[in-house]
Every structure is written in C-alpha cells, then in structure tokens.
Amino acid sequence: MNRIILKLIPLILCVCVMLVGCGGDYVDTGSKAPLNDPSSAYSSTSTDIDNIPKFDGETPFVVLNGNIPDFRDEDLVTESYEYYDELDELGRCTTVIACVGKDIMPTEERGNIGQVKPTGWHTVKYKNVDGKYLYNRCHLIGFQLTGENVNDRNLITGTRYLNVEGMLPFENMIADYVKETENHVLYRVTPIFEGNNLLASGVQLEAKSVEDNGDGVMFNVYAYNVQPGVIINYKTGESALDEKTEQNKENSDTEYVLNTGSKKIHLPNCSGVKSMSEKNKKVTNKLKSELIKEGYSTCNMCNP
Amino acid sequence: MRIIVCIDDNGGMMFNNRRVSSDKVVTERIIDLLKDNNLYLNQYSAKLFADKTDNLKISDDFLSKAGDNDYCFVENVDITEHISDISQVIIYYWNRKYPSDFKFQKEAAVSGLKCVSVSEFGGNSHEKITEEVYE
C-alpha cells in the first residue's frame, strides 16, 4: 500500500502517551512551561505521499500546500521549547517539534554522535558522494537550532544529499532569522516512512516565525532522502552505485591510455604516458567504471 | 543606476516571497554608503530601512524611476529590462546556503563591468559577509 497518511503515527502515539501517562522527550529549557502541550501541536490533517512528485534529479525538495505549514494559531507561542516524540514500534523516529528561540541555541561545539545507529543505518562509501559517506546521522531538528545532539529520537539515517542540500538550507534560514531578530520560529520535522521501511523516503519540514506571524519565515516542504547516482533500498537502507547514471555521465568517446603493468588509467596527454613502456601501453575507449571493475585505478596526476 | 543586492551561495534572494536572510550590519552599511543620495526600493524592501534614513524613494516601479547615479536596493524584482542602465553593482554575500525560488541574475547584471573591490566583515547574525563591487 503506497498511500501513507503523514503524521498518523505521531498522532496515535500522542493518544497512547495521554493514556499511559508518559510523554515524549520534552525539553523545557525556559523558566516556564510552554502555553500549550507541545504534543498537541501535531495536527490531524493528512498529506498523501502519492501526491509528492518523484525526485527530478536536480531539486532537493518540493513545496507542499503552497508553503503553508499545518500549525494552529494556538501552537505559535513565544517561549522556546523542544519536543522529541517516542520512536515507533520499529524503532523509527516520528515527529519532532521546537519553538526555536535564541535562548535554546547551542553555545558549544557539537559532540560525537557516532554511537547512534538509526534505523536503516549502513556505513558505506561512494566515490561520487560529497564526503564519500552515503549516509549521515541526520538531525531532524538541526544541532544549530536547539543544540540537541545525541538523541536517538532526533537522528535518522539520511543521505548526504538530504542532509546538506535538502535540510541544511532551511535550518540555516531559521537559525539566522532567530539570531537576527531574536524572534521565535515554530519548526516541525516529520520523517516519512513508507510501510515498514527502515529508511525514510523523505522528510517534511514546516516552519513559521511567531512574533511576525510568518512574515519572516514560512515554509512547508518535503525534502527527498535520495542520493543522485546511488540506488537505495528503502526497506533496509542497502544501496548500490547507479551504474546507468554514472555511465551516462561518462563520455563513451573518451579515450584512455592504460598501463597494463601498474594497472593505472591515464588521459592521453598525461606525462605518465610519455614515460610508459610501449609493451605496457594500451589505448582503450572502454568506460572508466568498466576499467575500475577490471582492477584498474586512476592516475593521481591526470585524474581521468 | 547603481544596484545593491544580498544573495546566498546560489545567488538566491527570495523564498516563498520572503527574503532569504537579513543582517542589521548590512542595512547600516548601505545607509552609510548612501551619504546624501537616495535609495530607490519597493514597499517590501522599505521595511528593512524604516526609521533609519529619510533618503528612501519608495515605488513599485523604482527601477524605472532611478537616475544614473541613484542607488537601487533589489530583492524581489526582475532586473532584465534594466540591465543596460546598470553602472555599478554592489553584492553582499551571506556566505550561507538558503532555499530560494528567486535568484539574482548576476552574470547579466555585471556583464561589461569589472570587480573593483572585495571586502569581508562580520555581521550581526552572519559570521562573514563578503562585499563585491562591480563598476
């Protein structure tokens, strides 16, 4: 079943929380409690993931509902708080919400978070990924906003692309607005899992600045948990290089000079070719990815 | 005309009809830059400078009204029709990446101009802001 009702899980959890009397991970850093129970900020309206267009290969997010977040007026309070709801029965993050104010922003550098293994986690590297590692431990509410670091309710397995291109720009926008104006921004992040998948398909980000009623910051977007050039199995988080995409990037007309002795790939104008023994020299139009499969590696000088 | 813009790493100026960022230090720097000159801008941008200077000329069509040596603060307007009138471009870089759906046409704006100065300074909410001037 592809249809997923967003926020249904957190809503159910909230009801359970009310029934059993134990809440999510609520952090009240101010002198007073917020005006409303933050868990009530989950709305009951739904978004259909089938209506979200497929990733177009270039744009890291799409706008939802005309960029209007699904907050109620009474959720917009002028006291800072953060609330991280419980993991679901599969150990997956649900919804996190914060009223971000300058008073809860971090004053120290971020610490190590390597001990947290969110669902779908794999330590895997690809040459075509910025920083090489496919997955980052993605803070749902960015560290720069609330200083929340090692909290498994706030960390999902996210691609480098999601982290840096999809989420960080929105976090930057909130952080700099709050620092500049000393106003508050209500910010909710909801990871979207299809069925029992361990890896989120994407993340919904909603924000509205409080004191100016959204004049400064307002958005409602869905950021894709994808990595261009890498195929991902969202059930498990396993992945593989998208050979088709990578091969398309390569120009099949590119000519390489191989050193069959050192097993190096050179460009024809590389100085290493001039000093290469004729018996080890071989010219080819094969794709670089194919040559690498055959055991060749690229020359460090000409970097083909 | 002389145009002034503030942009992020991707040339972004606006997202969802809101400026991607602002900084008091930049606002004050622009006011200092004006000296006795006027700053042409629209109603949306004028809020940034409210009560800080009397030298504002506010109009939805400010790019058409500005003279050769007047400064124009551009945030949410297309400059395409006015490219040939631009004699100076002052760009403030936030040195941050924000979401954006409206970008500055830098290549067209500085076409035929040369970068005559680059300087950096700290902002109120931005660690490092870069100013580039093209003439």
Note the pLDDT tens digit of each residue in B72-114.
999 999 999 999 999 999 999 999 999 999 999 999 999 999 9
Taking 70 as the threshold, does the pLDDT of residue A285 lie above it? yes
Q: What is the ipTM of this complex?
A: 0.96
pLDDT digits (tens, 9 = 90+) for A70-82: 998 888 999 999 9
Sole residue written with tokens 């001037």 = B133
Within 10 Å of residue B68's Cβ, how many Cβ atoms?
8
pLDDT class of A16 with cuts at 50, 70, 90: very low
Q: How many CB pairs under 8 A join A and B?
A: 43
Distance, CA of B25 to chain centre: 14
Nearest to A218 by CA among B101, B48, B103, B23: B101
Shortest distance, CA B59 to any CA of chain A (angstroms): 20
Contact A198, B118 (CB under 8 A): no
User: What are the phi and psi torsion angles at B93 (to 5°)?
Assistant: -100, 130
Buried b (16+ CB within 10 A) or exposed e, A165-179: bbbbbbbbbbbbbbb
Q: Which residues, listed in sequence order, are joined to residue B58 by a DSSP beta bridge? A: B41
CATH superfamily label, B2-134: Dihydrofolate Reductase, subunit A (3.40.430.10)
Shortest distance, CA A10 to any CA of chain B (angstroms): 27
Q: Among residues 18-77 of chain B, which lie with CB inside 8 Å of chain A?
A: 18, 20-24
pLDDT digits (tens, 9 = 90+) for A82-136: 999 999 999 999 999 999 999 999 998 888 888 889 999 999 999 999 999 999 9
The domain limits of chain B are: 2-134
Sole residue written with tokens 């009310």 = A18
Q: Which residues contact A281 (CB under 8 A, 6 or more apart)?
A: A257, A258, A259, A260, A273
Residue of B nearest to A172 (CA): B98
Instruction: Show the tokens assigned to A298.
Output: 């690229």
Q: Which residues contact B104 (CB under 8 A, 6 or more apart)?
A: B5, B7, B11, B12, B13, B74, B91
**Cβ <8 Å between A169 and B16:** no
- What's the pTM value of the predicted model, to 2 decimals? 0.80
